[in-house]
Amino acid sequence: MKPYLKRAWAEVSLSRLRKNAEIIKGLNSQSTEVMAVVKADAYGHGDAHIVRTLAQDCSISFFAVSNLDEAVAVRNFAPNAEILILGYTPPEYAHEISMHNIIQGVVSTEYAEALAQNSPASIRCHIKIDTGMGRIGLKHDTPAECADEIAEIMKIGKLSVEGIYTHFSVADSDAPDNITYTDRQQDFILDTYDELISRGIKLRHCHFMNSAATCYRNSPRSTLSRAGIILYGLHPDISLDIPEGLSPVMELKAVISHVKTVKAGDCISYGRTFSADHEMRIATVTIGYADGYSRLLSGKGKILVHGKRCRIVGRVCMDQLMIDVSDVEDTVSGDIVTLIGCDGNECITADELASLYGTIGYEVVCGISKRVPRIYID
C-alpha cells in the first residue's frame, strides 16, 4: 500500500505556515500575542500538524477553537498551550473544561452560572461582549452597564475571569460607514475595559482583533491577535490586499485518469449541459464534489495542466470532472493537475475559486473533504 492514494490530495506547506506566522507576529506590537485560530480542523489544513508546527517552531502559545472536542485535540498536540473555546460548550461538560485546563468563552450571566453549577473545580473564562456582531455575548447600551454585568459574573464562585473579547463584523471593509461601525465596536470594548480598571478590576486580556483587524487596523490595546484565515495565506476579503509575503499554505492536486477525443455534437457529463461544437480532447480528472470541489464550479472553473489553464466542461460529478485539454497536446493519463496552487507561471487560489460561485475562500478550504489526504511538506 502506498503512503496515500494518488487520486486527489492536498499538499500543506509547513514552511509557508511558519513564514506566515512570523509575518503576522511582525504586524503586532510587543503588547499583542498571536492567538492562532485552528477551528474546523485548522480551516481544513489538519489541526495536528498545524498546531504542533505553530507551537514548537513558531513559539505560539495561544490557540482558539470552536468547541470542546477541538480544544481537547489541541491540548493533546500542544500540552502547554492556552486554549480558548470561542463557541458553546454544554454546561454538563464543565468538568472537562476544567480538567483539560481550557478557557471557555462566556456569553451571559445565565451561562456562567450554569457552568459553575456543573463544575467541581474552577473554570477559566473570557467574557464575550456583543458590540455589533449580533451573534453571542453580553449586550448593553453603555460600557458602564456592560461592566456592571461583568462585575456580577466575576462574583460567581468557581469562575476565574481572565479577559473580555469581542468580534468585528466588517473589519474587512474599507467603506467609510463600515470603518465607523468598527470604530464604535472597538471603542465600546475598550471603554468597558477602562471602566473595569477604574473600578479596580484588572483583567489579563482584552482582545478584539480578528484576521482583518490584524491586517488593516492593528491596535496595541488588543492583547491577542486572533489570526485565522491570514495564517493560512488567504484574504479576509478578496477585494483588499493582505500583507506582502503571506502565501497560501494549501495546494489541491489530482490526476488525469483518461483522455479521449470527442466529435462535434458529443455531450459531456450529467444533464447534457455541454455539447462539443467541434472536435476536442477531453480529460477526466479524479476529483469531484464529494472531495469538496464544488459542483457550482461546473462550466466555470479552470484547472492547471502542464502550466496551462484548462476549463471544466459539463457538470462536476461526485468523484470526477472533465476538462478541455485540446490546447495541451502532451496530456496523458496519470498526469498531475492543480486545482488550487501554482503550476509554472499560473496560479489558482481558493479565493479565486470562491469568487466564481459567490462564496469566500474560508468555505473552499474548509470544504475539502476528509477523504482527501493531507500531505505535509516541510
* Choice among 4, 260, 270, 300 that is catalytic: 270
Residues 185-224: pLDDT tens digits? 999 999 999 999 999 999 999 999 999 999 999 999 999 9
Region class of 110: left (phi > 0), else alpha (psi between -120 and 50), else beta: alpha
**pLDDT for residue 4:** 77
Cα–Cα distance between 67 and 40 in angstroms, integer? Answer: 9
Beta bridge partners of 65: 85
The pLDDT of residue 3 is 72
Nearest to 282 by CA among 321, 338, 253, 337: 321
- Report the amino acid identity of residue 307: G
Region 160-173: what's the mean pLDDT? 97
Question: What are the residues facing 302 on neighbouring strands?
Answer: 311
Contacts of 244 (CB under 8 A, 6+ apart): none
- Asked if residues 278 and 264 have their Cβ atoms less than 8 Å apart, the reply is yes
Average pLDDT over residues 161-170: 98
What is the residue type of 61? S
- Burial (CB < 10 A; 0-12, 13-18, 19+), residue 111, is buried
DSSP string for 99-127: HTTPEEEE--HHHHHHHHHH-SS-EEEEE
In the chain, DSSP finds a helix count (H) and a strand count (E) of: 11, 19
d(CA 290, CA 253): 15
Residue whose entry in the numeric block shows the C-alpha cell 491540548: 75
Residue 300 CB coordination number (10 Å):
13
On the question of pLDDT at 103 being above 60, the answer is yes
Catalytic residue among 39, 128, 253, 302: 39
Q: How confident is the model at residue 1 (pLDDT cuts 50, 70, 90)?
A: very low
**Count of other CB atoms within 10 angstroms of residue 255:** 18
39 flagged as catalytic: yes
Lowest mean pLDDT among 54-58, 102-106, 237-241: 237-241
CB 222 within 8 A of CB 206: yes
Cell of 362: 474560508
Are 238 and 253 a contacting pair, CB within 8 Å?
A: no
> pTM for this one?
0.95
| DSSP 8-state symbol, 242 | P
Task: For strands 346-348 and 103-106, give the pairing.
Answer: unpaired
What per-residue confidence (pLDDT) applies to 5?
A: 82
Averaged pLDDT score across all residues of the chain: 97
CA-CA-CA-CA torsion sign (216, 222, 226, 232): positive
**Across 135-156, average pLDDT:** 98
CB 40 within 8 A of CB 66: yes
Cell numbers for 50: 498545524
- Of 367, 357, 267, residue with least CA distance to 313: 267
Whether 180 has a pLDDT exceeding 70, the answer reads: yes
Distance between CA 167 and CA 186 in Å, rounded?
9
Catalytic residue status for 362:
no
| Partners of 285 in the β-ladder | 256, 321
Of all residues in the chain, what percent carry a pLDDT higher than 90? Answer: 97
| Residue-wise pLDDT tens digits, 323-344 | 999 999 899 999 999 999 999 9
Give the three cell numbers for residue 31: 503588547
Identity (one letter) of the amino acid at 290? A
H-only helix segments in 280-325: none
Provide the pLDDT for residue 330.
93
> Tens of pLDDT along 12-63?
999 999 999 999 999 999 999 999 999 999 999 999 999 999 999 999 999 9
pLDDT at 91 over 60: yes
In sequence order, the 6+-apart residues with CB closer than 8 A to the CB of 3 are none
> By the 8 A CB rule, do 292 and 377 touch?
no
* Cell numbers linked to 249: 499554505
CA nearest neighbour of 256 among 321, 343, 316: 321
pLDDT confidence of residue 2: 60
